[in-house]
Each structure stands twice: as C-alpha cells, then as structure tokens.
Amino acid sequence: MPLILFNKPYGVLTQFTGGPGERTLAEFIDVPAVYPAGRLDKDSEGLLVLTDDGRLQAQISSPRFKQPKTYLVQVEGVPSEAALAQLRSGVELRDGMTRPAKARQIEPPQLWERDPPVRFRKSVPDSWIELIITEGRNRQVRRMTAAVGLPTLRLVRWAVGSWTLDGIAPGTWREAGQARS
C-alpha cells in the first residue's frame, strides 16, 4: 500500500490529467493507482497525501474523521486578537459556519521561494498565521481569512494529521522516509 507525501508546487493541479499546458501530478509522480486524499487548489502549495487505499483516502479527506490539517498562511495585514479569536470560534461563510480552528500569528516561516513570487506592496503590511482546521471545504482557509479581513497572499499546507512537509522539497515526494523527485 503506497502512501506518498508530496510537496505540491504552486500552479500544479491536484489530479493526474489536465488540459493543454496545465501542470498535473503526472509530471512529478509515476506510481500506479495512487490518488490524492483531499485537494489543494492550483494556487496553493504544500503537503498532498496520495494512496491506493480507498478507506485511508476517506479517513484523510472526509470531515467526519476530523483529521487536522495545518496551514501556514501569509495574509495581507496584521491579525488583531479579535480576528484570531473569530477564527478560533468559527467563521460564518456562505455555506455555513466553520468548525472552530486553532489560529495564531507566527513569525515568517523558512520556506522555499514561490514561483511566481507573492506580490509585494510597500503600503500594505503582511504577516503569517498558522491555522489548523478539521474540515476541508472548497477554498476554506482563503474564505476564512478573508471573512476576518485578512486576504490570503500565500497558502502552504504544512501537515495532515501527523504527516508533515519536513524534509520534502517542492516537486518531490517521499514514501517511508526517502525524498524523491
């Protein structure tokens, strides 16, 4: 049963096929019969777990199992304690209230350069938040930060449960401890 931890680069679709000129998982992973457990948007980066085990795939991606997912989020602005408290208690979105999240402001993490880089504006400060959620609605983290007045500039999923990106460079993956490209 392969279990693959992949560091998905910005601009890559979370699927093995795509339209002309679209980057997909097939460019990076040549392992038969594995599928992503959950999704990451094309404009998000970070940990993607792939497996050939349907039950495990459901346990990772289904909100009913409440698998924590940790995101490092660069936002426009500086979070107030009130904004962080709102994220912690749940945010009202168009599709309903989110579950409470763990949220805290963090120092800028030591990450790889993004290609293309995040736009920089001298007049608007940016900061980083660590956000841990137990759901996985469409573009949920981006919608949550926007709802509290902190638009997302960069979104990196760092962990799914106990699996992390530690030691996995963008565009590479590992199974049982070895990084591959």
Residue 152 and residue 73 share a domain:
yes
Residue 39 and residue 13 share a domain:
yes
Which tokens in the block code for residue 56?
């495990």
State pLDDT tens for residues 100-138: 999 999 999 999 999 888 887 788 899 999 999 998 888
Q: What is the CATH number of the domain that holds 116?
A: 3.30.70.1560
**Distance (Å, whole) CA 40 – CA 59:** 17
Q: Is the pLDDT of residue 176 over 90?
A: no
pTM for the whole structure: 0.93
Q: Which domain holds residue 124?
A: 68-160
Q: Is the pLDDT of residue 15 over 60?
A: yes
- Please list the active-site residues: 41
Q: Is the pLDDT of residue 181 over 70?
A: no
Instruction: Tell me how far the alpha carbon of residue 60 is from its chain's centroid.
Output: 13
Per DSSP, the three-state class of 39 is coil
Q: Is the pLDDT of residue 144 over 60?
A: yes
**pLDDT at residue 171, rounded to an integer:** 97
